[in-house]
Amino acid sequence: MFPIRDHNPSNSTPFVTYALIAVNVVVFLSYWPGAGDGRAVMGFFNTWAMHPNRISSGVGWHTLFSSMFLHGGWMHLIGNMLFLWIFGDNLEDRMGHGRFLLFYLASGLGAGLAHVLAAPYSAVPTVGASGAIAGVMGGYLLLFPRAKVDILFIFLIFFRVFSVPAWLMLGAWFGLQLLNGVGADPTTGGVAYWAHAGGFVIGLVLCLPLFLRLGGPAFWGRTHGRPPHPEARYATTRSRIPTVPRKTVRRKSASAIPIIRRKK
């Protein structure tokens, strides 16, 4: 289950959101063509990825920032940028470009520290914009809990798109991070669930001053929990495949069958 779009395009052009997506893509392309050489990539990550054990030792602080712009593969990059594209524009529209950039970076730094607290002695390199984007999702949940989000639900061979309120999708996502974080060992690699959960909470908390300045619950009352502009309506296109009408077969009843009588 993952989101594919929301129904709430922003009123202004989200320059920072677009710039962050572009920077992440450019940085990824700068080192990933050499992914065939595993040693080269690991050497790159050794310098720029975050290692919790180094942060715990008081070194490598710059990697809290640099690791936010690194990704471990194409699907990692595409998934993160999809989430940023869906949820970033409305938050940037409400915060303003400069404040949104500071908010994004602060959420990413906080998410990295949350991962360090969860696994302070782990030597596994950590990369990804997920923590910062989780902060964007937390802020989105606070400001626009009833915004419509389209999610693609996949179960084996079953594919279906549903429109759900943001609080349901984001709440379920946050709950999964907590559930998986409890059952996972953060020192063995995999997904940094506590970075996701930490970034989400940090983003929500950082949005509280803005939420209160807008009026708190009264802001929800004015906007009905959605971005304060008309939502987009996505019309489904009809299939151009011509339909073939079914042929009907008329059957004669026994009484309608003519009877031929012989003459005597």
SS3 31: helix
Q: Is 115 a catalytic residue?
A: no
* Active-site choice (51, 71, 115, 196): 196
- Respond yes or no: is residue 97 known to be catalytic: no
Q: Which of 67, 107, 122, 130 is catalytic?
A: 130
Exposed/middle/buried for residue 86 (C-beta within 10 Å: 0-12, 13-18, 19+): buried
Rounded to whole angstroms, the Cα distance separating 190 from 221 reads 41
Q: Which two tokens stand for residue 48?
A: 């720029």
Question: Sheet harboring 158-165: ordered strands across?
Answer: 2-6, 148-155, 158-165
DSSP 126: B
* Dist. CA 53–CA 59, nearest whole Å: 9
- Catalytic residues, which ones? 130, 196
